[in-house]
């Protein structure tokens, strides 16, 4: 239970880092702002006024809403889920396993892969912050390092170059100097490409079974029986005999090491 609590705290911190690192440079460039008594929003027929604490609560609630998207964008969840959906389509089982089962397995595999990163964020950022050794902004800087290193490890240079050019930024001397707004979308593109590559490879043996079954049923004149009715049990039998889930999950985890 303690490991789950630490992992959850680290994931929440990492999600905060993704939002805060994007605005850190602009806040620092703007410099200190004079204190105000409150913030007000006035729209015809509606007005709202609140202090800094109220807006902090609004920001935290917004962050909690964005947590699912942040989980998708900065973890291996995208690659894992894409591979599982390709596998289900290749087997010909349209709704088995169910989406909830695939998403649950993807979440636990994501936890398995991201636990070292979450523990590094906890040790480098959360623990010193709770002890008062560093400030919140220093915790953001320290905590973003393990997350950036993880994403850059699986991001293609071509995708990074694309977003660097689109952002009209000078190419950095090393990838660690790239901001998160470039690293995150480049990482997502790389994960999607890798997921589609693995999914295409998974399709090949099952495609051979479909082609052979269709050829045999056509040659013997079984036109009334759809080939998928025969090929689907054969594909499931082959997958079970080969211990397919162990092979797929094992190969997928090895691709991250």
* pLDDT single digits (tens) 163-175: 888 888 777 777 7
- Residue partners of 117: CB distance under 8 A and separation at least 6: 10, 14, 146, 147, 150
HSE at residue 143, side-chain half, CA atoms within 13 A, is 30
Quote the tokens at residue 83.
């591979």
Check whether 20 has a pLDDT greater than 50: no
Q: Are 187 and 74 in contact (CB under 8 A)?
A: yes
Task: Give residue 121's Cα distance to chain centre.
Answer: 17
Closest CA to 187 of 163, 161, 164, 154: 154
For residues 201 and 32, give the distance between their C-alpha atoms in angstroms, rounded to a whole number. Answer: 55
Which stretch of DSSP H or E encloses residue 41? strand 39-43
**Mean pLDDT, residues 78-105:** 86
For residues 116 and 121, give the distance between their C-alpha atoms in angstroms, rounded to a whole number. Answer: 9
pLDDT of residue 101: 87
What DSSP letter does each residue of 72-117 carry, written as one string?
HHSSTHHHHHHHHHHHHHHHT-SSSS-HHHHHHHHHHHHHHHHHHH
Check whether 203 has a pLDDT greater than 80: yes
Check whether 78 has a pLDDT greater than 70: yes
- Judged by average pLDDT, the poorest of 52-61, 100-109, 248-257 is 52-61
Q: Comparing 228 with 12, which gets the higher pLDDT? A: 228
**Mean pLDDT, residues 128-153:** 78
pTM of the model: 0.70
The pLDDT confidence band at residue 59, using thresholds 50, 70 and 90, is: low
81 by Cβ neighbours in 10 Å (0-12 / 13-18 / 19+) ranks as: buried
The percent of residues in the chain predicted with pLDDT above 90, rounded, is 0
The CA-based angle 170-191-202, given to 5 degrees, is: 150
The pLDDT confidence band at residue 54, using thresholds 50, 70 and 90, is: low
**Mean pLDDT, residues 216-230:** 74
Q: Are 24 and 140 in contact (CB under 8 A)?
A: yes
The pLDDT confidence band at residue 114, using thresholds 50, 70 and 90, is: confident
């Amino acid at each position: 239970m303690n490991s789950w609590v630490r992992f959850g705290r680290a994931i929440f911190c990492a999600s905060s880092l993704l939002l805060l690192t994007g605005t850190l440079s602009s806040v620092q460039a703007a410099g200190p702002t004079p204190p105000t008594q409150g913030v007000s929003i006035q729209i015809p027929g509606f007005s709202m006024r609140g202090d800094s604490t109220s807006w902090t609560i609004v920001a935290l609630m917004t962050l909690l809403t964005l947590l699912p998207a942040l989980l998708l964008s900065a973890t291996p969840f995208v690659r894992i889920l894409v591979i599982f959906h390709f596998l289900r389509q290749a087997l010909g089982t349209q709704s088995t396993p169910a989406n909830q089962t695939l998403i649950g397995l993807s979440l636990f595999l994501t936890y398995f892969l991201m636990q070292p990163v979450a523990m590094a964020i906890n040790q480098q950022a959360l623990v010193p912050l709770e002890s008062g050794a560093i400030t919140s902004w220093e915790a953001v800087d320290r905590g973003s390092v393990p997350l950036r290193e993880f994403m850059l490890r699986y991001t293609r240079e071509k995708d990074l170059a694309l977003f660097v050019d689109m952002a009209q930024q000078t190419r950095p001397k090393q990838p660690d100097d790239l901001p998160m707004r470039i690293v995150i979308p480049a990482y997502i593109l790389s994960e999607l490409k890798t997921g589609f590559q693995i999914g295409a490879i998974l399709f090949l043996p099952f495609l051979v079974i479909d082609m052979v079954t269709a050829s045999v049923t056509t040659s013997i004149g079984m036109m009334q029986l759809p080939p998928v009715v025969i090929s689907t049990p054969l594909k499931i039998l082959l997958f079970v005999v080969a211990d397919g889930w162990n092979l797929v999950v094992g190969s997928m985890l090895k691709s991250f090491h």
